[in-house]
Structure 1
Amino acid sequence: MSRIRHVHGFGIHSPSAYRFAREVITSRRRTKECKELGRSLKGVPHMVSRLGELYFRISLHVKCDIWLDWRGSGDVYKLYVELTGRQIRFVSSDECFEWSQFGKNEHLVVRATVDDHTETFYEEVINHANEHSILILEPSSNRKAFCDLWKKILDDDRTGVTFDLYYCGIVFFDKYRPKQNHIVNF
């Protein structure tokens, strides 16, 4: 019951943040391809499928150029992101990557599973982020590390609008909108 006031973006007063909450985060609209992919992925937990659909909608909404998956099981998420039909470069942390390969004006989405070493990675992300970048954080088994990093992000002046979805956190680096944290029941 404590989450009821955070349903469908209630209480969000910024038009762009409200639109993102309604059209991307809480949207129940699924494409035919997402439904088929969800049916074909047997044995995948329900929340992984829901997050995959969310990442599909995010990559469509922000017109993602590069998707960097850091320390996560990105194979399932890669399938969802590729459903967009766009030419998205999906870079896994297993691959050797350099920050210099990402252009300054490219729309970069970084998804990371939070562990004890994520704070140093967060500093790398924030040093290379532009106004088109998005950071998505998922908690691992170490919930305390996630909460500590999330508090640091909320206090950081270099971040913009944030969304706390209980199952993941979304961070925008767009400085044109006022800094706000929105809690949305995903």
Structure 2
Amino acid sequence: MLIPVKYKRPFVWLRRFRNRCGYGIHSPFAFHLITDVVNEKLPYYDYSDLRNLERTLIGNGCRKLFPQNESIKLRRLLYRLANYVHPQYIVFVGEETMLFSYLKKACRKAHSVQTLNGIIGMQPQTYFLVYIRFGFNVIQLEDICRYYIDRASTNSLLVVQGIGFSCEMKIFWKRLKTYPQVSITFDLYDVGLVFFDHSKIKQDYIVNF
């Protein structure tokens, strides 16, 4: 029987306790991302507006926009990542959730697209942030990831949800890290972050999120 993610979370946090706050990380890029983006605690002005929108949507019965595996903590993380990356394109792969609103709010000037099948027309060397929701089978997921990896620019960011949710996803994540186009990766359990800047040494970081 599969154990729901919410019951696993305390054990995951304890297992990753030593991987908090950037301790032992020597890369300035990785340390900055972990301490000033992933673990940033200061509120952003948009948080209040987004929270009010959430209350309105829930009050109107739009609960499908708030799946259990996308917490407000995760939504705010993606807001901060989008604000940090400032991509030209935002692609939300999967059924739309409130998280897409956070991405769009963080980068108002970006061209934002939501797609169910995962693929949109995109030129090579596109500066993007792509978020792929958990729910695709591994074969579909790898095809989608490969498509965007082949079109990523140096500053692009690929975010894959659910890399720690199952054995299949853990194996997939391990394989994804070996792609030659991939440079630095961050394993946050709920999501995996994939960067493509080869001016930095290829490395995988486990983060207690």
Indicate the TM-score class for this superposition, using the shorter chain for normalisation: 0.7 to 0.9
Distance 1:121 1:5, change over 3 A: same
- Confirm whether residue 20 of structure 1 aligns to residue 33 of structure 2: yes
2:84 to 61, 65, 74: 61
* Range with bigger deviation, 7-16 or 171-180: 7-16
TM-score (norm 1): 0.86
Per the alignment, residue 122 of structure 2 pairs with 99
Query: 1: distance between equivalents of 2:23 and 2:164?
Result: 30
* Range with bigger deviation, 162-171 or 131-140: 131-140
5+ long unaligned stretches in structure 1: none
Identity in percent: 23
Distance 1:152 1:140, change over 3 A: closer
2:103 to 67, 81, 87: 81
Secondary structure of 1:147's counterpart equals: helix
TM-score (norm 2): 0.78
Distance 1:94 1:109, change over 3 A: same
- Confirm whether residue 108 of structure 1 aligns to residue 128 of structure 2: yes
* Range with bigger deviation, 135-144 or 50-59: 135-144
1:167 to 157, 181, 190: 190
CA apart distance, 1:78? 2.2
* Range with bigger deviation, 40-49 or 77-86: 40-49
- Confirm whether residue 33 of structure 1 aligns to residue 53 of structure 2: no
5+ long unaligned stretches in structure 2: 1-13
Consecutive aligned runs of 4 or more in structure 1 exceeding 3 Å deviation: 42-47
* Range with bigger deviation, 149-158 or 33-42: 33-42
The one-letter code of the counterpart of 2:90 is W
The one-letter code of the counterpart of 2:112 is F
Distance 1:4 1:59, change over 3 A: same
Secondary structure of 1:8's counterpart equals: coil
RMSD over aligned Cα, in angstroms? 2.3
